[in-house]
Amino acid sequence: MTFNVDTEFFAYICFEALNAARYELTAALVFFGAWFIGVQFKKKQKSRFHLHSKQHGSKALQFSSYQGEKQSARARPMKGGLDANNPKTLKDAARVIPQIVQLCQSHVADAVQLFRSAVKAGLTLQGVPADDCHQLCAALVAATIRTGKLDEAIQLLTELKQCGLIVNTSLIASVVKLSTSRQLYAECVAFFDLMAKDLTFTLTDKSVWSCLLFCSVESKAYQRCAAFFERVKACGEPSSKDFGHMLRIAALRGDWESSLSLLQEMRDLNIEIDSMRYNVTLATLASASKLDEACALLDAMEGVAGVADAITYNTLIKGYAKKAQVDKCFELFERMRAKDIVASQVTYGILLDCCINESQVDRATQVVDQMTAVGCQMNTVLYTTLIKGFARIGDLGKATDMYKRMRAEPNILPDLITFSILIKANCDNDQLEEALKLLEEMAALGLKPDEVVFNNLINGCARHGKAMLGKHLYEDMIKSGVRPSNATFSILIRLFHQCKLLDEAVTMLKEESAKHNVDLEARLFLQLIQSCLRERQGNRAIDVYKMLCEKTTPNVATTKAVISSCVRLNLFDTAAEVISIAVASDARVDVADIQALLEASFKKRKVRVVQSCIESMNTLGHTVDRKFIPVDSDPVPANLAAGGSWRASEPMTAKLKAPVGAY
């Protein structure tokens, strides 16, 4: 078979194909061209290198060795690029000391090892500039103290002394100031203790003692402050900052007498007392409830221009607010305004909180009006405080109005506490639907409900008997990552009891607590037992009491409460079973409770209950009155025949099989 090929047509097709792929072909040619040039250049460089190696073999080897040493030095950051095998390099203090100081910042162990290697190689600090010696000492010892290796710090200090380090006032001052500037407060105090252990001279540099006082305050070594302050005074007049540190210590300890004494000492030395020092002292007096002394200090402050400020009055107002002296708070507020001192949001917040805590909501409203009149902006805390006040007095309408007013503000948003108060208020007032709407608004603002919010909502469901909604809220609580507590389970028991679902309450108490690792309190078992008893579900109550005994040994009060409830509800069989379980579990049972059950069951002619009570008293070793011993044909113990009482230590000869009429 032959094919007739149109040559012109074939050429046309090939041309079109090449034209379409012209960009791809061009790129390929460029790539292969560059590759070829690179290969040829590499071959040329290699041939030149071999020729150079033949002509200068030793130098090439030295270059290669240097590169290898450089890489090795990088792989050994501990030595900082120094030749560890070259004693001459290690003895060079000018090179070794900066490297050790640098390593102390992040590689303490490497720094210590490098120092000891240098010492072994013959490093000496004699002739080294004092500043370098001080820097080396401060870096090494402070670094080891910072890592908690106090023993090693002591050893290093000894080694430094052996190398020629001279411990003198200059060294101590340098190290203390350097450590203070680097905020190594605890290390500075410990470092001073190390260096001062063998001191044969006295430090007279007041700035050193001031630094040590400051470091002891910042490192919370409060027991050292008094001694350091005395050393400051021995070296000269303390500064305002030194007194300030001591005032802080007095405030932390609640030592108001020392605070006043320090202020008087500053006055005697004509040291200017600024607002901060006065306010710290005022806060100490207010915290100690020394309000009369605080008012006297305020009088003195008002006599000095520009010393009393808003913080001054806020501190004193807060002190009177803690004492519930609302009138005194407003008296100070008016005194503040008379001095042309502008009240802040904190001032109004303290006044509002004081009024709300004392249920003076009308007065709190007046505070808000005054605040608005002077142009002071409301905030979330102030609105929430007002809402809490209206909720506390049961005025849900005004609380809701205040919430709406808050939402109308463009830059103020409610927080979790705001919603928590409103949700609880609505649930307490049987406004469950409104509470659920608040939950939706809360979610829309991106706020995550906490346990308190969920507990209040579930409690609202319990009040309305809405079991399905309550269980749904509990599921949402778990899904949102909120861990239930004993309070949550208590509310759920109330919900299930209200909805006649005590079987679910028992299951919940058994399974949910274990699932969420909640250590159940005995009161929850007692609550569920009493709920079962009210519904006359004695067997279920016994099951719950057994659960309690498996978890812990019930105390006397718990068992007494169960027995009393059973007797009050005429559930004598249940009470007898509870006593038997308690006795078998070695739980303490009040004999008066058994006696009360015995009396009640005897009157009701409950033979099995009487028998069970006598057996329990027999086990516990208590005395049983003879009137409870049934008549039988068996011989009666001699002490009963003589008119005595039957004791548990004697054999029980009477068989409790007498007819009911025998009782």
Please check whether residue 98 lies inside any domain of the structure.
Answer: no
Please check whether residue 47 lies inside any domain of the structure.
Answer: yes
Instruction: Write down the pLDDT at residue 606.
Output: 86
Handedness of CA 394, 400, 402, 406 (dihedral sign): positive
Q: Tell me the pLDDT of the chain averaged across its residues.
A: 82
- 171 near 134, Cβ under 8 Å? yes
446: left (phi over 0), alpha (psi -120 to 50) or beta: left
* CA atoms of 328 and 323, how far apart (whole Å): 10
| pLDDT of 59 strictly over 80 | no
Using DSSP, state whether 624 is helix, strand or coil.
strand
Please check whether residue 663 lies inside any domain of the structure.
Answer: no
Determine which helix (DSSP H) or strand (DSSP E) holds 371, and give its type and residue range: helix 361-373
DSSP 121-148: HT---TTS-HHHHHHHHHHHHHHHHHTT
The percent of residues above 90 in pLDDT, for the chain, comes to 46
More confident residue, 217 or 76: 217
Please check whether residue 23 lies inside any domain of the structure.
Answer: yes
Residue in 299, 243, 252 with CA at minimum distance from that of residue 276: 243
Handedness of CA 347, 349, 354, 355 (dihedral sign): positive
Provide CB contacts within 8 A for 133, sequence distance 6+: 125, 165, 166, 171
* CA atoms of 270 and 279, how far apart (whole Å): 19
Please check whether residue 290 lies inside any domain of the structure.
Answer: no
Instruction: Write down the pLDDT at residue 63.
Output: 34
- For 103-140, write each residue's pLDDT tens digit: 888 888 888 888 888 888 888 888 888 888 878 888 88
- For 376-394, write each residue's pLDDT tens digit: 888 899 899 889 989 988 8
Instruction: Write down the pLDDT at residue 55.
Output: 45
Q: Is the pTM of this model over 0.85?
A: no
Using DSSP, state whether 646 is helix, strand or coil.
strand
Please check whether residue 1 lies inside any domain of the structure.
Answer: no
How many folded domains does the chain comprise? 1
Total Cβ atoms within 10 A of residue 181: 10
Please check whether residue 518 lies inside any domain of the structure.
Answer: no
- For 140-188, write each residue's pLDDT tens digit: 877 887 777 767 877 887 888 888 877 777 777 877 887 888 788 888 8
Range of the domain at 34: 18-68
* Residue located via tokens 């009640």: 600
Please check whether residue 368 lies inside any domain of the structure.
Answer: no
Mean pLDDT, residues 290-296: 93
Alpha helices in 168-325 (DSSP H): 169-181, 185-195, 206-218, 225-235, 240-253, 256-268, 275-287, 291-302, 310-322
* CA atoms of 501 and 507, how far apart (whole Å): 10
Residues forming a β-bridge with 624: 646
Instruction: Write down the pLDDT at residue 62.
Output: 39
Exposed e or buried b per residue across 146-164, where buried means at least 16 C-beta atoms within 10 angstroms of its C-beta: beebeebbbebbeebeebe
> Amino acid identity, residue 589?
V
| pLDDT of 574 strictly over 80 | yes
Mean pLDDT, residues 362-381: 86
| pLDDT of 403 strictly over 90 | yes
Q: What is the DSSP letter of 105?
A: T
How far does CA 521 lie from the centroid of its chain?
23
Mean pLDDT, residues 525-536: 95
